C-alpha cells in the first residue's frame, strides 16, 4: 500500500469514533517498532517527522525508510506527516520529498519560539493550504501555544486556544485538522500533579467540536509519561526529570469530542530508553549495535501497541481502500473534503 493521506485516516477515524496516534520518528528502529505494532494490532497509523528528525536522519534516508515500511506492511494505511513546520518553505520541501501531510505551525514564527499574531497565523497557514491541497496533501494548523520545549519547538509559554477564534481560523484557512492548546506541554515534564480541570482545559475541545463538528482536532503534547516506564529507566541506572503526563482517560474524553490525531513522542523515547538501559544492564559485554537496536525497536513497539489499543484504532486497518494524492487533488479542486 502506498503512503496515504492523513485526511483519509482522520475522516475514517471520525466515522468510526476512534483516534489515530501520530508517533514521532528519527531512525530505523522507531519506524520498525511502530509498523510492527500496527501490523499486530491492525491499526492505521501516522508517522511524523520534525525538522530536527529530518536533519538527523537525512531527508532521503527518512523518506525511503518510510517507503520500505509501506512496502513491507502493505495492509497498513500509514501517512507520513511533517510535524511543526515552521514556514511554507519547510512544508513545501516536505511535499516535494513525498510527505502526504504537513503541519504549518503558524502559532509561532520561523524561529519556532516567537508567537505570531492571529492574522499572521491565518496568512501563513492559508498559503500552505493552497499549496498542499493543489497536490492532494493534508494540512494541519495550530492555534494557541503549548508549554515546554521539544526538538527546538516551543515558546515556553501556554496560550490556550480561543474557540471563537478557532471557528474563524478554520473558515479562513481551510485546514483539514486543527491542533489546539488546552494546557499540555512538550517534553517529559508536563504537570507537577495529576491534571484536573484547572490544569487541563478539556472543555475547550468540547466547545470547538460543537462549533466545528467536521474539523479534526489534534492533541499535541499527549504523552502520558507512564510511571512504570519511568521507574524502569531509573532502575536501570537512568535519571528522568518527569512529572505527570496526560491521562489516557483525558485523551479518550477528547476522542469522544472530535479529537482524531494524538501526538505521542516522549512516551516512545522513554520506552526506548528503558529497554536499551535494561539491555546493557543485563548484557554488559554486548558490543554489537544490533543488540541495543533490537531493544530500542521492542521499546517503541511496546508503547505503540498500548496506545493503539487505548485510542481505539486497533482493528481498523482494513476498513477502507486508500485514495491516491491524485484523487485527493481532484476532491479538493471540486470542493469535496470528506473522504467518507
The residues annotated as belonging to the active site are: 83
Burial class (CB in 10 A: 0-12, 13-18, 19+), 199: middle
Question: CA-to-CA distance for 194 and 267, rounded, in angstroms?
Answer: 17
By C-alpha distance, which of 78, 25, 67, 22 is closest to 50? 25
Question: CA-to-CA distance for 30 and 18, rounded, in angstroms?
Answer: 23
| Alpha-carbon distances, residue 90 vs 83, 109, 114, 176, 281 (angstroms) | 10, 12, 17, 18, 41
Q: Which cell is 225 given?
A: 509519561
DSSP tag of 289: T
Residue 92: which residues within 8 A CB-CB, separation 6 or more? Answer: 131
Question: CA-to-CA distance for 296 and 303, rounded, in angstroms?
Answer: 11
Q: Which cell is 316 given?
A: 481498523
| Alpha-carbon distances, residue 322 vs 4, 11, 139, 151 (angstroms) | 6, 12, 18, 31
Amino acid at each position: 500500500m502506498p503512503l496515504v493521506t492523513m485526511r483519509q485516516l482522520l475522516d475514517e477515524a471520525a466515522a468510526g469514533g476512534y483516534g489515530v496516534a501520530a508517533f514521532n520518528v528519527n531512525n530505523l528502529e522507531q519506524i520498525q517498532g511502530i509498523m510492527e505494532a500496527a501490523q499486530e494490532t491492525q491499526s492505521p497509523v501516522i508517522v511524523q517527522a520534525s525538522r530536527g528528525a529530518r536533519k538527523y536522519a537525512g531527508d532521503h534516508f527518512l523518506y525511503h525508510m518510510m517507503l520500505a515500511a509501506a512496502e513491507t506492511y502493505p495492509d497498513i494505511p500509514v501517512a507520513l506527516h511533517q510535524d511543526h513546520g515552521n514556514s511554507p518553505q519547510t512544508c513545501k520541501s516536505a511535499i516535494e520529498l513525498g510527505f502526504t501531510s504537513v503541519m504549518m505551525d503558524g502559532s509561532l514564527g520561523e524561529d519556532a519560539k516567537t508567537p505570531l499574531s492571529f492574522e499572521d497565523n491565518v496568512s501563513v497557514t492559508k498559503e500552505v493550504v493552497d499549496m498542499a491541497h493543489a497536490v492532494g496533501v493534508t494540512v494541519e494548523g495550530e492555534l494557541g501555544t503549548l508549554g515546554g520545549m521539544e526538538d527546538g519547538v516551543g515558546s515556553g509559554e501556554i496560550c490556550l486556544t480561543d474557540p471563537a477564534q478557532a471557528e474563524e481560523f478554520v473558515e479562513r484557512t481551510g485546514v483539514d485538522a486543527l491542533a489546539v492548546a488546552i494546557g499540555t506541554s512538550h517534553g517529559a515534564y508536563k504537570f507537577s500533579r495529576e491534571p484536573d480541570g484547572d490544569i487541563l482545559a478539556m472543555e475547550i475541545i468540547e466547545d470547538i467540536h460543537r462549533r466545528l463538528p467536521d474539523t479534526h482536532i489534534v492533541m499535541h503534547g499527549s504523552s502520558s509519561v507512564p510511571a512504570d516506564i519511568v521507574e524502569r529507566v531509573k532502575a536501570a541506572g537512568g535519571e528522568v526529570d518527569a512529572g505527570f503526563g496526560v491521562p489516557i482517560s483525558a485523551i479518550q474524553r477528547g476522542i469522544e469530542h472530535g479529537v482524531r490525531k494524538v501526538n505521542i513522542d516522549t512516551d516512545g523515547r522513554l520506552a526506548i530508553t528503558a529497554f536499551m538501559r535494561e539491555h546493557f544492564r543485563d548484557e554488559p559485554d554486548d558490543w554489537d549495535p544490533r543488540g541495543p537496536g533490537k531493544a530500542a525497536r521492542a521499546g517503541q513497539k511496546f508503547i505503540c501497541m498500548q496506545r493503539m489499543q487505548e485510542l481505539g484504532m486497533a482493528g481498523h486497518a482494513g476498513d477502507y481502500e486508500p485514495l491516491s494524492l491524485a484523487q485527493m487533488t481532484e476532491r479538493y479542486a471540486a470542493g469535496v473534503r470528506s473522504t467518507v
